[in-house]
Structure 1
Amino acid sequence: MDEGTERAADASGSGSGPRAASTDAATEAFVAHRNLLFTVAYEMLGSAADAEDVLQETWLRWAGVDQTTVRDPRAFLVRVTTRQALTRLRTLRRRKESYVGPWLPEPLLTAPDVAEDIELADSVSMAMLLVLETLAPTERAVFVLREVFGLGYDEIAQAVDKSAAAVRQIAHRSRAHVAARRPREVVSPAQTRGVLAAFQQAVATGDLQRLLDMIAPDVVLLTDGGGVVRAALEPVVGAHLVADVLRRIGTATLRPAQVNGHPALIVLTGGAIDTVLAVRLEGGLIAGLYAVRNPEKLSRIDRETAVAR
């Protein structure tokens, strides 16, 4: 639970007797599934801050439920989280329409073992979260719950207020949509780390030719400054243009990190986190770069965030 949820649990659990015992059981169930619920919300929203708000709302509803009436706490909590995330997702879509420059997901510092779960790591990657952005809200919810978390159609139907038959159709449509847009090549963490190490050296030394040798000709760089810090307002396309941008960070410190389940780089200037840089590889070359600079999206990158299926 986050700090707000802990305070709510402490307040509602004070005293003793059946009510306190029920609250303790509710708290234990919520804590047991918290990482799963956060991951569901995050994959639907692409924002850790909004996912935390969804969890707070889920907790408030869960704490007010008669626990004896709930046969499957996990299913109940996933259903509430999904509904709350859907409501928030529709609001976020309107907010993104006025966002300054490219919008990128909020990056998460993740534990090394996340990469061992290939499906989980793929589902929280920057590239996949951007693909999920192209789905309608209900399609996104159905895809996440079915393809990532393996929920049954009947269970998903309850979460999105659709019939099981409709959910099957939505799942088929969203699966085809994602398959047509997701990265086709599976790249090992070791390969990504190797490319990033060479990339880091090339940037540090200002070796333009070495940079060009590891960047795809049609590479795309997306920079998210949110109108708060300097960033390109449009995608930067092409090896020479992207390499020119990257050379400018040569005086910064680049620190390897595990971000959204994949190797990435954290750019520090003056000892402070300036940018999180994630990459997408194709054919051994860097085909996509995602540079998150908006300070509002970097508040969690100094500590690990637990994700789970």
Structure 2
Amino acid sequence: MPDWDALAEVFAGRRDHLWAVAYRILGSATDAEDAVQETWLRLQRGDTREVGNLPGWLTTVVTRICLDLLRSPRRRRETPADPELPDRPGDAADPAREAVQADSVSRALFTVLETLSPAERVAFVLHDVFAVPFAEIAPILERTPQATKRLASRARQRVRAGAGQEPVADLAGHRLLVDAFLAAIRAGDTEALLAVLAPDVVRRVDPALLPDGVPAEVRGATTVAAEARTMSAPARTARPALVDGAPGAVVVRDGHVRLALTFRIVDGLVAEFAVIADPARLSRLTITEVG
């Protein structure tokens, strides 16, 4: 007999993550809730005794449900011009939902994502936003990892192109670019990192954070990508945030911002980024956490 209490505990612990994945893919709070509920029903009906990674299994299931919804002719006919933004008082304390509600660029973001095919949208959202490896996305899409990587690359290019349509969409595209930047560093994916860096990108880091001999300023995409391992530790705990009104990231410990990443984005690529840890500099930044 399955241990229903244990399954329910795992599901409850992953529910916000599943909702965030479904919402990013579908662009509808109602559809995201339906997808999460269907995931719970499939968990109850399925035999998960041989599943070694239950959180990963849940993400796969909710993604497949979303993919079926995206491919549904009925849903395509009924999808509104503007995505539905969640607005339910009971969810105000949920970090994943709060992040979306605080993200003023969501409508523009989903307008861009609506131009992608279902497979491109899933590949892009899972890899560039949630850092899921291509090897895990490929079976969901019934593609090879290389084909899945190409889907995400095409989607990334379309998102960049769409980001230049209007100022609000610029902010939406920039937020996704920051997400992709952090995901690439976390995954140690040099190719993905190079895809979001301008050729002459500049990296600046507070000297106190760097090992001896590492310069505070580095220029050039190849050099920056090669030394990205020095950024892996802060990237793992970085949270998306608006820093002085622009997409960035912060590292929070003991309730205080200890480190901030700021970005300058030009033509859909990271032209410059800085890692700030000096308390005096941090105190001068206006930081709004969004997830």
Distance in 1 between the 2:157 and 2:51 partners? Answer: 35
Q: CA deviation at 1:79?
A: 0.5
Partner in structure 2 of residue 30 of structure 1: 11
Does the aligned pair in 2 maintain the 1:145–1:151 contact within 8 Å?
yes
Q: Deviations over 1:240-293 (max 9, x none)?
A: xxxxxxxxxxxxxxxxxxxxx999xxxxxxxxxxxxxxxxxxxxxxxxxxxxxx
* Superposition TM-score, scaled by structure 2 size: 0.51
1:81–1:115 Cα change, 3 Å: closer
Partner in structure 1 of residue 24 of structure 2: 43
Rg comparison, structure with higher value = 1
Distance in 2 between the 1:141 and 1:74 partners? Answer: 18
Segments of 5+ residues of structure 2 without an aligned counterpart are 164-168, 175-240, 246-289
Q: CA deviation at 1:122?
A: 5.7
Distance in 2 between the 1:66 and 1:123 partners? Answer: 41
Q: Deviations over 1:106-154 (max 9, x none)?
A: 112455966997x996697111111111111111111110111000011
Distance in 1 between the 2:50 and 2:31 partners? Answer: 29
Are 1:106 and 2:84 counterparts? yes
Distance in 1 between the 2:18 and 2:97 partners? Answer: 19
Given residue 81 of structure 2, which amino acid in structure 1 is its aligned partner?
W
* Aligned-residue RMSD, C-alpha: 3.6
Among 125, 128, 138, the alignment partner of 2:106 is 125
Given residue 106 of structure 1, which amino acid in structure 2 is its aligned partner?
E
Q: Deviations over 1:177-199 (max 9, x none)?
A: 111112334899xxxxxxxxxxx
Partner in structure 1 of residue 275 of structure 2: none
Does the aligned pair in 1 maintain the 2:105–2:171 contact within 8 Å?
no
Partner in structure 1 of residue 166 of structure 2: none
1:151–1:84 Cα change, 3 Å: same
Distance in 2 between the 1:180 and 1:108 partners? Answer: 27
Q: CA deviation at 1:29?
A: 1.0
**Structure 1 runs of 4+ off > 6 angstroms?**
112-117
Among 17, 20, 35, the alignment partner of 1:54 is 35
Q: Deviations over 1:209-238 (max 9, x none)?
A: xxxxxxxxxxxxxxxxxxxxxxxxxxxxxx
Partner in structure 2 of residue 184 of structure 1: 170
Distance in 1 between the 2:105 and 2:51 partners? Answer: 30
Partner in structure 1 of residue 58 of structure 2: 77
Among 127, 136, 140, the alignment partner of 1:155 is 136
Does the aligned pair in 1 maintain the 2:123–2:137 contact within 8 Å?
yes
1:172–1:178 Cα change, 3 Å: same
Q: CA deviation at 1:75?
A: 1.0
Where does 1:216-231 land on structure 2 (aligned, <5 Å)?
none
Q: Deviations over 1:18-58 (max 9, x none)?
A: x36x1111111111111111111111111111111111221
Segments of 5+ residues of structure 1 without an aligned counterpart are 1-18, 189-260, 264-306
Distance in 2 between the 1:64 and 1:151 partners? Answer: 26
1:71–1:164 Cα change, 3 Å: same
Distance in 2 between the 1:124 and 1:62 partners? Answer: 34
Where does 1:132-151 land on structure 2 (aligned, <5 Å)?
132-151=113-132
1:140–1:120 Cα change, 3 Å: farther
Distance in 1 between the 2:121 and 2:97 partners? Answer: 23
1:63–1:157 Cα change, 3 Å: same
Q: Deviations over 1:72-113 (max 9, x none)?
A: 11110111111111111122x5444466xx621111245596
Query: What's the secondary structure of 1:68's corresponding residue?
Result: coil
Among 48, 67, 76, the alignment partner of 1:67 is 48
Among 167, 170, 173, the alignment partner of 2:148 is 167
1:32–1:167 Cα change, 3 Å: same
Structure with the bigger RCO (C-alpha within 8 Å, sep 6+) is: 1
Given residue 88 of structure 1, which amino acid in structure 2 is its aligned partner?
L
Does the aligned pair in 1 maintain the 2:127–2:133 contact within 8 Å?
yes
Distance in 2 between the 1:160 and 1:64 partners? Answer: 23
